[in-house]
Amino acid sequence: MCCRSAGRALWVLLQRQPPARAAPLRPRGPAACYGTSITSAKIQVNGVHLHYQQTGEGSHAVLLLPGMLGSGQTDFGPQLKFMNKQLFTIVAWDPRGYGKSIPPSRDFPPDFFERDAKDAVDLMQALKFKKFSLLGWSDGGITALIAAAKYPNLIHKLVVWGANASVTQEDVRIYNGIRDVSKWSEKVRKPLEEMYGHNYFAKTCEAWVDGISRFAENSDGNICKQLLPDIKCPTFIIHGEKDPLVPQAHAEYIHKHIKGSRLLLMPEGKHNLHLRFAEDFNRQVEDFLR
């Protein structure tokens, strides 16, 4: 039985139309209340034991890709618990060096997004999913863009939010503003410190800032701009208009360069819009994936 929903948001139906803006959002309870259990396991992929969580029994497989220092446990609680488990089989992975996919320790070579994309796709194939959709948040959104472009025959649909295809000098300034984890709010910092311990958490965040900032040295700050036209699957881009970490221009660029994509702007959404407004987010995503 579904829980009561908040106001619905409008869709962008054609690529050239202006982006839709969601109705005012209220942080309320989950949109769907199915009680299938969540399992947790590890599987060896590309020489690394990757941890993942899985739930649901639907025919449509969906992979959730977390952000920097993220994991299924920290990043996707409302999606693992409340997305429609009759329609979807939901997998949330911990990229190598994150969550419970340690060892190895996390590092950030120039191709770390491509490495994550290959790991993610190979994980789903190891789990015997022939085709699947991707839901990518922040860094996980970048990984999902690359995976959709490079492995088009495997990807059914794509949803990204809080993602960017390039790094500007303004982005570098923002990244350096979160380098010192002691300045993070306790609400955000505490679960990550509990998962990693302070030293690993702090060291990895600093390494991430250095790693992603290096993209600003590329021509046009490129991460994966050249791959966007290669994405052929239906694509839904969501952006919080109050996101302090990813300027809206990044979402608009991705939308413009993925043919036929849809863009939804959430006026009250911040970077963690899928957590803060989980009911609205889950409903919008489920409607798109059907």
For 195-210, the pLDDT digits (tens) are 999 999 999 999 999 9
8 inside domain: no
Q: Would the pLDDT of 6 be above 90?
A: no
109 inside domain: yes
Which two three-digit tokens encode residue 152? 């088009």
Of 101, 133, 138, 261, which is the active-site residue?
A: 138
258 inside domain: yes
**Domains identified in the chain, total number:** 1
Amino acid occupying residue 103: P
171 inside domain: no
Question: What is the pLDDT, as a whole number, of residue 18?
Answer: 54
Residue 142: helix, strand or coil by DSSP? Answer: helix
* Catalytic status, residue 243: yes
CATH number, residue 65:
3.40.50.1820
* Catalytic status, residue 138: yes
Task: Place 10 in a pLDDT band, splitting at 50, 70 and 90.
Answer: very low
156/132 Cα distance (integer angstroms): 5
182 inside domain: no
C-beta separation of 31 from 82 below 8 A: yes
Question: What is the pLDDT, as a whole number, of residue 253?
Answer: 98
Quick one: average pLDDT of 24-30? 44
Which two three-digit tokens encode residue 42? 């590890």
DSSP state of 222: B
Question: What is the pLDDT, as a whole number, of residue 28?
Answer: 41
pTM for the structure as a whole: 0.89
* Catalytic status, residue 122: no
Of 243, 255, 261, 280, which is the active-site residue?
A: 243
Percentage with pLDDT > 70 across the chain: 88
Quick one: average pLDDT of 55-61? 97
Rounded (5°) CA angle 58-62-65: 150
33 inside domain: no
Q: Which residue from 280, 285, 260 is spatially nearest to 17, judged by alpha carbons?
A: 260
Domain that holds residue 92: 39-165+225-289
205 inside domain: no
Question: What is the pLDDT, as a whole number, of residue 288?
Answer: 98
Of 239, 271, 274, 280, which is the active-site residue?
A: 271
115 inside domain: yes
